[in-house]
Amino acid sequence: MTGRISFQGELGAYSHAACRAARPDMDVLPCRTFEDAIEACLSGEADLAMLPIENTTYGRVADIHSLLPNSGLKIIDEAFVRVEIALMGLPGAPLSGVTRAMSHTVLLGQVRQFLRDRGIGTVTGADTAGSARVVAETADPTLAALAPRLAAEIYGLEILADGVEDQSNNTTRFLLCSRKADPDRRAERMVTTFTFRVRNIPAALYKALGGFATNGVNMTKLESYMVGGSFVATEFYADIEGHPEDPPVKRALEELGYFTSQIAILGTYPRRRA
């Protein structure tokens, strides 16, 4: 497939790495915000958008949960990227000479032990790949960046230490979104993602989810979040295994409809391995 894929961040970011892994033949379009990445896809400037949805260490990406349901985009695939962190600096700069490391505040929290053991201070950057760019532009051998290896390749930096993350299983799940989706697409294992709002009646959520249990449909994700600035207006975001036209899934969704005021299917796509 040719075309262009948008993502939030600078070249060399983890979202860029996800684009390269999932669609290596596509050009990339870095965007300043998640809204910009979504809008680029909606407008046709990009054919697809790569959006992070959750991380094994830090949980959900709240912005995406609020933006995606109303975006008009459809989820067509998922991708998993291991968060492997590299310390990178100017070519020829020794690790022993590094006194400060720059990165996004979330990433800095994932390398505390490494930095503590080496007495390296931290500098908060706007994002990971942007920090690598700053190190390259600053040309200070005592300043290094913590970012994906891809960033070192793009900004001409040298990897001083690799795999410095405190947790070796840290992984981010991404959703690949498009303006259109093929509702008849099938794979051995499918995932259906949808949102719903329960009616304001006693035990509504319990009753709404009962159909998935009685029909043997596995729900792999369920999260709630407030909508419209109200403590009583709650929307749920869910992933289930299966296709909406599978008889058990179809029956479960029909039962869900009795106890909800709104259901929106965001996408049906193949299950990938983390």
Q: How far apart are CA 121 and CA 100, in angstroms?
A: 5
Which helix (H) or strand (E) is 204 found in, with range? helix 204-214
Distance CA 55, CA 49 (A): 18
- Give the integer Cα–Cα distance in Å for 274 and 272: 6
Which phi and psi angles does 192 have, rounded to 5°?
A: -120, 125
- The residue from 172, 195, 260, 268 that is catalytic is 172
CB count within 10 Å of CB 70 equals: 11
Q: Are strands 4-8 and 48-55 parallel, antiparallel or unpaired?
A: parallel
Q: Exposed, middle or buried, 63 (CB in 10 Å: 0-12/13-18/19+)?
A: middle
What span, in angstroms and rounded, lies between the C-alpha atoms of 184 and 224?
29
Catalytic residue among 174, 196, 236, 259: 174
Are the CB atoms for 223 and 235 separated by under 8 Å? no
Q: Which residue, among 139, 177, 135, has the nearest Cα to 51 in the 3D structure? A: 177
**Residue 34 bears catalytic tag:** no
Residue 58 is given by DSSP the state T
Residue 212 catalytic? no
Contact 221, 212 (CB under 8 A): no
Whole-number Å distance between alpha carbons of 259 and 61:
28
**Strand bridging mode 190-198 / 234-241:** antiparallel
- The set of catalytic residues is 172, 174
